[in-house]
Structure 1
Amino acid sequence: MGRRSKFSLQQKLSIINETKAVSAEKVAKKFGMDAHTIRRWQRIFQYQGIGGLENTHHNKNYSIEFKRQLVVEFEQSMDSLENFALKHGLKSDWQLSSWIIQYNESKLKAYTPRKRDSIMPGRKTTFEERLSIIEELIKHDINYNWAVDKYHVSYQQVYGWYQKYRKSGNDPQSLRDRRGKAKPKEVWTELDQLKAENRLLKAQLLRKEMEDAYSKKVMEIRNREVNGSSSNKPSKNMTGQLVPCVRSLV
């Protein structure tokens, strides 16, 4: 069972938006929280999108291969523990820290699923399938679990494909399966490359538009609440007496 947050997704986005005008310390004091939490939300939103800020009520499943891969990659990176963890889809650095300790003590284990849990097995995919999966993954805030359920592939497959794509500088050809160094049946032309890059770029732009639209909607709701509370304050009539101000319902 996941830990329940006292802040909803809309509240988190609203708080993040407030820090654009004032410091995180002032916003934290207003809401009675730690400024570090706000900065962590900012980084989660930056690396994982809106989906990363959603409150989850269950634990994700990670294989021992995935854990080992992340530990090795972190040892070779220049990132801080927290930034590296957030960039790779984790909610905080304590998970990765625990895996590093277990790895160094040779105690790293995979999560053992219960009957109600399920881990999607991997399957063979074509280059076009992988291209489509990454295209839709980008549109859905890099939600690996969504892609697993939608396309019936393993978490590790989706994660590995996206990491290859990002590390290649967003080159679609990084999604090719080059095991055995088999040549593609069809020649990959420059036009094909441009078309693939255009598909993935459109997906990134769409995701950005959705995030901006969502943030704008949250601000509109917040502004209506502020204006509504101010319009309910008592006002004076011509005789100087206080009378309630009534809003009309539309």
Structure 2
Amino acid sequence: MRSNRKYSFDEKINILNLIDNNHTVQSIARDLQINKNVIHQWKRLYDLNGSEGLRHQRKNRSYSQAFKERIVQEHIKEKLSFPKLATKYGLSSAGMVSNWFRDYTIGKKTYSNRNPRNRKMKDGRKTTQIERIEIAQWTIANDYAYHEAASHFEVSYQQVYTWVKKLNNGGVDALADRRGKSKATPLTELDIAKLKIKELEARTKHLEMEKDLSKKLKEIQRRVK
């Protein structure tokens, strides 16, 4: 199954339409190589908020510890499943509830506070100008997949968002580290060439994945006719 794949709004709608054409979620997941839980998540969001529920949310939403514990208690006392709780409270995924339950059972108030890798991703890390440019370009090439970029490059969501905004508004020079007293070292022609190659590689890979998905969707739709 694919991981860290970002699907457009139209792709999600087309995939959900297949369910209405007598395809099961399991068969769609198998044919399109998508985790079936992802499709179930889209279905829950669509049922809860209509088509708007399928649009990419670019802003992180935080939840209080009290809210998380209330959800966990409902799971324990009322035997509500993670998907049902996610739907009931308009959460983006059942996995979120599952993580909260896991944290509760092992006695952690906040999982990311105890896991060094998750803490680093939450707080960010030091990067070079070249890294910041590469990450911002990768994010844009993948249709502004902020969350996926943060996970892929092990930086924070806020860092990615800031770098993309700076790159769009001021170009590569805007991503130079200006905190020191000395002027930032300008990028060499070789640096710029390497970054351009990585940007094209990211765009090519993303387009190939979209093309592959489109072919599989058409193949499934032909079977319906």
TM-score bucket of the superposed structures, by smaller chain: 0.3 to 0.5
| Largest Rg, 1 or 2 | 1
Relative to its length, the structure with more helix (as a share) is 2
